[in-house]
Chains A and B, each alone.
Chain A
């Protein structure tokens, strides 16, 4: 065995350039694997964080009938006494905040905006005192400020503001139907523009104080949701059950961010599947390269093969020798690939790719704005390293088998 290993590694030096080119192909494949995996993992980690920080919170208490009617954003399917729930949760060390979400028409007048117009919007009414305990909007204000508790004012997502040409001090009118079905028109001043890492929020956000919304919409203290913040390390499903039991109210339900973001998770899963296909093709190309290199190496040494077989070396040992050689190429390729992967990962983790200018208006499913950053995944690097060696070794089996089908005299005559 020692001889076979020694022979295999010495043979690697026989055609240095070819060995390096093949190892380079493996290295490129592995680097791409590490790079794309890092990118996807980074996207997922950041998307989940941005979902929880700016959209769904960790979990949400809803009226049990609300979720199935959520696209209508009904105000009458609500939580009648959200403050008692928040208080109950607070006593158990859980931070929570109430919100009212409603849909309406945003009316733009020519006085501020240059021309009249309207568009459908979703408005979120927040409790300025408690909202920042659960969501992370406090550091996202780009211009202006958040509205006071009882101020007829809104903050707006930066992309939305840019799209409609809104600036601080402009007035907008929101027309909607209040709790009970009456029409209500609210004149609001834009006092702040928010830019947060979640593109969905930047694209659609209009936020106003809950006290003002309560009065306009005749909510009488009710809210459409109570959002909950849980520690990052919490077992979210177990916590949801615990909170449900804690609240002990039949008409309320607690949903985890995973349930609420099921569409996002499905998209992420599908993207991962698509990326796996691309990676499979990259590996396939590398495997064909290795197979071809081994085929050339074997057929250039057919006479040597004949000599070794004449002297009594078994086909099995010859196959092992060539597979060791291929494993050697795989080892060099894997080392190069992992090093390149680490280098490119270092760059993608620390600097990232700024895709904002290209994809700003395109919803790619991930809740990541402008800069995509990777994440370190040492498990993937380990898998890539061993997969490189394993695939190289495996693909050498077939050309060796083919060469060994030749009879020994033909091998010895081979030119």
Chain B
């Protein structure tokens, strides 16, 4: 049947990408439908029960700054919070939370069910309705046809999913869920480049069978951090500790003796796994000289005894899994509740996408999450939000939007994917961001919330909080800038204790704050007037002032490439007609079809000379157009 209501945006999949996509479109006022094969698994954390971490929390905070759900759900479901790199400077600081699966899922479900303009429907999607080069809707398993202006596909690992345990394998989307075979076959018929990737999980363990007494406990930080800009520590449920143990020589021997029974080493798995998240058999094979590896025991929740032993992801047969787990200190009596497995799945070459995450060949069809070759909840959520908002913009007949590399990690993520493609599951790291000092966890709202408000993603509550914070920062900066400290005064004396060279001429407090020896708290009380009571304001004044020199330098770099960022390359540009390009560069450009001159310049092998040629070619086309 044809479903009687027509939607603006259809979202297929209810994982981290799908939920953020549906929420974003609905927040913008688009009539949105979220299609999932199982309402009970909306917001499911299918891998380890943790959110955030280096580079990833940056994405979560950006999603939050644009009104997304992930950070708020983490604050409500998080049972252990830590700030990583706390001593390494604010740009590389990252919040990481262990989340109770049940509480997290409930928080997401609550946000979804209370979102105006959003409806949820449970049914697997089998087909896309494509007319010409445009998507029109989807067909579900039982033949219901839903029509919409734009469709966002977030099928995760479900497309052609194949689960491996030892040398046995079976079709599956993740443990316990069926794969999407019909949809995968349908998508393989479209002119999109498909590849196979692989990822894995460790066996889960019953905490009651673990002896934690000899292990190092890792509790939450004090004070307890929050993930969302609107978050409060009071929202957090009860906090619990993680534990650290290690593999040993015996563990390694067990694995070495059974490598021939690993689907990875016997050639059964063809997909490529991530280098930064290797299986335990991979670690032992590749780093043979290391005789111990860390295992991080993460509690799955407050109402379950299940433990996620991070660090021993494996696809070895179950009998070997049991042996290797029991060889680890404290786990001698361990009971495995679910075996570990590796999963292979289809992904689409993200070089076939535009910066808005719309496919280049099928209009109004957007891809987000693991099907684009990424891994991680945070990477998925970030893409989901971007795809959802662009699907919404399309439905509203507005221009698409994607942040630049200097504006957000979301921009880095998307630009890396569409420019470079990926040969392994792509994960965010701070070293991928050349503007790392600008793209901090602490200023994601200052970078993005205003844009989010303009796009209709940010509600009044968040906007009011943001405006108050922004004004607070301006006021506090002005207060410090207007206060001079003169040598010889009492104020100067208090500061001289901390300075390597005593104050020799009058200076403003803001200038003094730029000195590495001084912190905000050393001088904030020396200025007349009220201190700001928002700790986020105080933090921003401190960080922005400390980084000022580097921020100026990066701002100059950004300015230098701005014109290239703003120079659009026509989608139909015939690269064979651009004079002076080598065939190699022509092929690269026609294969990737960069959206801007700047993106073209980031393609490996594209030389500055080639960029000059492109610029001249564009200008020539302009002239021709004007003369005609």
The judgment on whether A and B are partners is no
